[in-house]
Structure 1
Amino acid sequence: MKNSRRSFVLFSLGVASSLALTRVATADAAKLSEADPKAQAVGYKEVAATVDKSKFPSYVAGQNCSNCSLFQGKASDAWGGCLLFGSLQVAATGWCSSYGNM
């Protein structure tokens, strides 16, 4: 019994530390800048409400990265991955002209 308890504790510590390190790595991931050429090519804005509606008439209020099919985070995350931008994270409140395309 002692051996299985020890194995359980060691396994639990390993899992907990892995989860903690994953969260730290995600929090430290590089964030996409509006000045990035890839971001500019699709009109990315960190705050959807600031989208220039004359340049992007397809923008509709309520659209943002957190409810886009390309967003790789949870709807409750402030930042998350995007299929368009590789390892860079986008703001959940953001928007780009590729919204929902997939």
Structure 2
Amino acid sequence: MKTSTDRRRFLRLTMAGIIGITLGDQILQRKALASEELPHLAEDDAQASALQYTHKSPHEENHCGNCMLLQGNEGDEWRPCSIFPGKAVNVNGWCSAWTAKPA
């Protein structure tokens, strides 16, 4: 009887440790990625060209700064966008994937 309780306790503690290590590692990786400077998206990038991306929006009211696809910290001039992974877009820019933020 004693051994089955010890075995369960051991397994429970082992699983908790594995979960803690895994989650802790993921949190550290996200912080490291967030602190790294992403390269700026070039207007002549193939995907940018396909989506007509420009650093300066031709539309007064529609720009990356008010697009729901923009990520990152409010106030930063260059921020990540879910359409262009691994690249930062200018908040004053625009592309044909622009989608209004919900009110």
What does 1:18-97 correspond to in 2, within 5 Å? Answer: 22-23=34-35, 25=36, 28-48=37-57, 51=58, 60-97=59-96
Instruction: Name the structure with the higher helix share.
Output: 2
Cα distance change on mapping 1:20 and 1:83 into 2, 3 Å:
closer
Q: In structure 2, what is the Cα distance between the partners aligned to 1:65 and 1:75?
A: 12
TM-score (norm 2): 0.60
Cα distance change on mapping 1:74 and 1:63 into 2, 3 Å:
farther
**Structure 1 outlier segments of 4+, above 2 Å:** 19-23
Cα distance change on mapping 1:38 and 1:61 into 2, 3 Å:
same
Is the 1:66–1:73 contact (alpha carbons within 8 Å) kept by the matching residues of 2? no
Identity, % of aligned positions: 32
Q: In structure 1, what is the Cα distance between the partners aligned to 2:33 and 2:86?
A: 17
Is the 2:38–2:80 contact (alpha carbons within 8 Å) kept by the matching residues of 1? no
**Structure 1 residue ranges without an equivalent (≥5):** 1-18, 52-59
Cα distance change on mapping 1:21 and 1:68 into 2, 3 Å:
closer
Cα distance change on mapping 1:87 and 1:20 into 2, 3 Å:
closer
Q: Deviations over 1:53-82 (max 9, x none)?
A: xxxxxxx42111011000002342101010
Q: Deviations over 1:23-59 (max 9, x none)?
A: 4x1xx311100000100001000011xx3xxxxxxxx
**Structure 2 residue ranges without an equivalent (≥5):** 1-30
